[in-house]
């Protein structure tokens, strides 16, 4: 019969003591790692990387009825997206959005052109087409309640390829504050619109580069 090896009780006690001493260090290390991950946020991989090192025209389409209420909607949407791209995608070269809007105003039938033809007109590699479906700052059922909403579809077209279909498509429905409307005595309409534009542009541009997302507190007061 094979002899059994028995660990002396003194050794077992020593091992147990070492384990008990090390456990708080291990637990604190795990806690610190988890806390660091929460602070840094979770990594989100880009949905489309084809804008890096490319020239891009941002083209925004807004319904005429919406433009009657918000005449600067195209400028605001394109400017916020452009700012997010400049901050987070330094190798992407952007056509001035004002040049695009001026061309839209001067070209009556521009909506009949394909996105690739628009890109060729401006001499860019990519066209980011944003179609705004809803652009509002007030609840339909309660005019005194403020909650911004931008609902839109966005598509990227590669001008320098033979493909005529979009290389990337995204749908967005952004509200601010996202947990519900606020009274007009707590925040004004301009702040609501700007915060909604910021949230919308972040979500759009986040699709184009790998980044980390950290949960941010919802602010309903102007600071």
Label residue 60 exposed, middle or buried (CB < 10 Å: 0-12, 13-18, 19+): buried
Per residue in 195-223, pLDDT tens?
Answer: 999 999 999 999 999 978 776 554 443 43
Give domain status of residue 177, yes or no: yes
Q: Which residues pair with 43 in a beta bridge?
A: 212
Domain that holds residue 147: 44-213
State the alpha helices, DSSP H only, in the chain.
9-40, 64-69, 73-88, 97-106, 115-122, 189-205
Per residue in 42-64, pLDDT tens?
Answer: 888 999 999 999 999 999 999 99
pLDDT computed for residue 144 by the predictor:
65
Q: Which residues pair with 129 in a beta bridge?
A: 59, 155
Neighbour count for residue 111 (Cβ, 10 Å): 9
The answer to whether residues 94 and 58 touch, using CB atoms and an 8 Å cutoff, is yes
Query: In which band, very low, low, confident or very high, does the pLDDT at 38 lie, cut at 50, 70 and 90?
Result: low
pLDDT computed for residue 114 by the predictor:
96
| Whole-number Å distance between alpha carbons of 154 and 148 | 19
Give domain status of residue 14, yes or no: no
Percent share of the chain, pLDDT over 90: 64
pLDDT computed for residue 187 by the predictor:
87
Give domain status of residue 6, yes or no: no
90 DSSP 8-state letter: T
pLDDT computed for residue 183 by the predictor:
83
Give domain status of residue 5, yes or no: no
Give domain status of residue 27, yes or no: no
Give domain status of residue 98, yes or no: yes
Strand boundaries in 125-179, DSSP class E = 126-138, 145-158, 168-176
Mean pLDDT score, 161-165: 90
**What is the CA angle 17-22-24, rounded to 5?**
115
The answer to whether residues 81 and 199 touch, using CB atoms and an 8 Å cutoff, is no
- The domain that holds 163 is classified in CATH as 3.40.50.10610
Its pTM stands at 0.78
User: Comparing 15-29, 150-164, 178-192, which segment has the lowest mean pLDDT?
Assistant: 15-29
Give domain status of residue 18, yes or no: no
Per residue in 99-129, pLDDT tens?
Answer: 999 999 999 899 999 999 999 999 999 999 9
- Interstrand relation of 211-213 and 42-44 (parallel, antiparallel or unpaired): antiparallel
Give domain status of residue 119, yes or no: yes
- Count of structural domains within the chain: 1
């Amino acid at each position: 019969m094979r002899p059994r090896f028995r660990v002396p009780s003194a050794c077992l006690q020593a091992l147990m003591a070492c384990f008990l001493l090390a456990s708080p260090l291990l637990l604190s290390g795990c806690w610190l790692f988890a806390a660091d991950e929460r602070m840094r946020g979770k990594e989100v991989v880009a949905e489309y990387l084809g804008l890096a090192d490319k020239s891009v025209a941002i083209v925004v389409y807004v319904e005429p009825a919406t433009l009657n209420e918000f005449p600067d909607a195209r400028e605001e949407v394109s400017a916020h997206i452009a700012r997010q791209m400049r901050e987070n995608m330094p190798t992407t070269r952007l056509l001035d959005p004002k040049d695009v809007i001026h061309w839209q105003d001067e070209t009556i039938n521009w909506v009949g052109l394909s996105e690739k033809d628009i890109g060729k007109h401006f001499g860019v590699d990519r066209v980011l087409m944003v179609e705004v479906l809803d652009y509002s700052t007030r609840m339909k059922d309660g005019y005194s309640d403020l909650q911004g909403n931008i609902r839109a579809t966005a598509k990227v077209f590669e001008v320098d390829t033979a493909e005529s279909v979009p290389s990337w498509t995204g749908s967005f429905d952004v509200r601010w504050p996202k947990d519900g409307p606020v009274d007009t005595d707590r925040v004004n309409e301009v702040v609501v619109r700007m915060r909604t534009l910021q949230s919308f542009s972040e979500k759009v541009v986040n699709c184009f580069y790998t980044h980390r997302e950290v949960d941010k507190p919802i602010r309903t007061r102007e600071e």
